[in-house]
Every structure is written in C-alpha cells, then in structure tokens.
Amino acid sequence: LNHNPSCYKIKLSGTVKSPKINFDPPFLMLMPVPLDVETEMTFKIIPQDYLRPSRIQVELPELELEDGGRICPFSVQFPEGQNIVLSSDDTNKELFCHISFRSPRPVSLLGNMFFIDEEKN
C-alpha cells in the first residue's frame, strides 16, 4: 500500500449451512377415533441455521374417497405463530404445531405432510 508493489495473498475458507427443520417427536401416530370425532396432537418444529426470518407453510394430504369425492381430514394450527425468528443468541426459536384429524367417512391412510419455508426448502 502507499504505492508499494508488494503482493498480498489472502486465503479465505468457510462453511455454508443450509437451513433445515427437525421435529420433536420425529413422527406422529394419531389414535383411531369414531367417525366425525377429532384426534389431535401438538409437536415442536425445531428450525436450525436460519439466518433471516422465514415463515413455515404446510401442505396437507387430500384423500380421494371411493365415490370420487375428495376430503382433507387434517388441519394444522401454529398457536404461537409460524414465523421462524433469529434469537439474540443466534439460534432459532422453536415453533409449536397443533395437528388434528377428523373425518365423517371411514378412511385409513399413511401420508406425508410437507413443511416448507419461503424458499421452498
């Protein structure tokens, strides 16, 4: 610097962490119930490595009935909100998710629910 022709080399290294979410418990099994009776459960969503605020969305499975009709017997609520926020200690606050199932028709299913952030992760 100061018109000195010396060369300086800088070597940088780093690690890229992709945001992810974990669940506690890692899977759910809702109890069988009579027709049109609700069964429910609350679980935690544990976000990791989110560096900026994001919002979780849920894609619920839709069922096709024998008569060709379709129902979505699941509902999801986030009692404390569905925004992922960064705490002052650089960790993400966990979210609580309440899921319920109710069907007026007999159904049995093994399905997936997709929890997606704003960037489709």
Interatomic CA distance for residues 53 and 2, integer angstroms:
43
Burial (0-12, 13-18, 19+ Cβ within 10 Å), 104:
exposed
- pLDDT in the model for residue 65: 81
Indicate the residue type of 41: M
For residues 93 and 50, the answer to whether their CB atoms sit within 8 Å is: no
Tell me: the pLDDT tens digits for 16-53?
Answer: 888 999 999 998 888 889 999 999 999 999 999 998 88
The residues pairing with 115 across neighbouring beta strands, listed in sequence order, are 58
- Given 2.30.29, 3.40.50, 2.20.25, 2.60.40, which CATH number is that of 21-116? 2.60.40
Local structure of 95: helix, strand or coil: strand
Domain ranges of the chain: 21-116
Tell me: the pLDDT tens digits for 65-95?
Answer: 888 888 899 999 999 999 998 888 888 999 9
Indicate the residue type of 15: T
- Please name which of 40, 55, 53, 38 lies closest in space to residue 118, comparing C-alpha atoms: 55
The residues pairing with 67 across neighbouring beta strands, listed in sequence order, are none
- pLDDT in the model for residue 73: 92
